[in-house]
Amino acid sequence: MPKAQTILITGSQGQVGQSFMRLADQCPHYSMVFVDRTKLDLCQHEQVRQYFQHNQFDLIINCAAYTAVDKAESDTASADAINHLAVKQLATIAKEQNVKLIHISTDYVFNGQQYRPYIETDPVDPQSVYGVTKLAAEQAIMQTMENNALIVRTSWVYSPTGSNFVKTMLKLGAERDSLAVIYDQIGTPTYANDLAQAIMTVAQSEEFNKAIFTTEIYHYSNEGVCSWYDFAKAIFGESGLSCQVTPIETKDYPTAAKRPAYSVLNKSKIKQTFNLTIPYWRESLKMCLAEL
């Protein structure tokens, strides 16, 4: 029997990292090692290098990220350290040790001024510090690893754990009779469990496990399109909360970081390359709510 592949999953306490933890029992052919910042601080570059000198992996799945989008505007150094410089070092080590790398990126690399779903080769133009640092990581990977890396851009991630829009709406919906939610930002929610499952499908595929897999960017979110207003109404509808939702414009809810007005991702490439079937966002929302 072939030796089980060993996968390092960073950012294990985040939404996607936690989703990989839930998947571990379903992946007996993989030995999964989970690390969070307390076990491996990716910003401590010497510590990281020593860690990889003493531990060998077949694949790194990087779920670690600075995701406080508004805070990043005033905490640029921290956002860049985690989202960019740490990733650059991971890519360098992965290349040196011939380890494959899967990195999670974001729809925030786009400016949101388009009105058709974004494909992987569309021009990038991030409008926030968060988006700039995530794009810098993509570029570092592409420049460092011509082969054996895969970047997955995703959007509007939520799960039963951590801080996210679904949990915020459930909390506020239980406390208030009405809420105002933005209707002019359009995208697609992504259930973290679906994203983790899709990444594992990719990791197990013949295509990704070729001797040389050319480094590529792919898009993944759930299927469908909605606004934050639509998403909130669906959350309340599915959970039985009677909170009234009023639509408001982005300009009426100012934030430190600019959000893309439109960030629907075209998923044709990942579906065709890896034969993926992607769930519709409302169905995945039901799955998440059932776990809460």
Strands 186-187 and 226-227: antiparallel
Distance CA 128, CA 133 (A): 9
Bridge pairing between strands 100-106 and 149-154: parallel
Distance CA 155, CA 123 (A): 17
Q: Does the CA dihedral 6-142-187-236 come out positive or negative?
A: positive
Rounded to the nearest 5 degrees, what angle is found at the Cα of 191, between the Cα atoms of 185 and 193? Answer: 160
**Helix (H) or strand (E) run with residue 103 in it:** strand 100-106
Q: DSSP 3-state assignment of 167? A: helix
Catalytic residue (one of 30, 130, 158, 183): 130
In 117-133, which positions are buried (b, 16+ CB within 10 angstroms) versus exposed (e)?
Answer: bbebebebebbbbbbbb
Catalytic-residue membership of 130: yes
For the record, the structure tokens of 62 come out as: 């990087």
Alpha carbon distance 49, 29 (integer Å): 27
**Strand pairing category for 30-35 and 5-10:** parallel
DSSP 38: T
Return the active site residues.
130
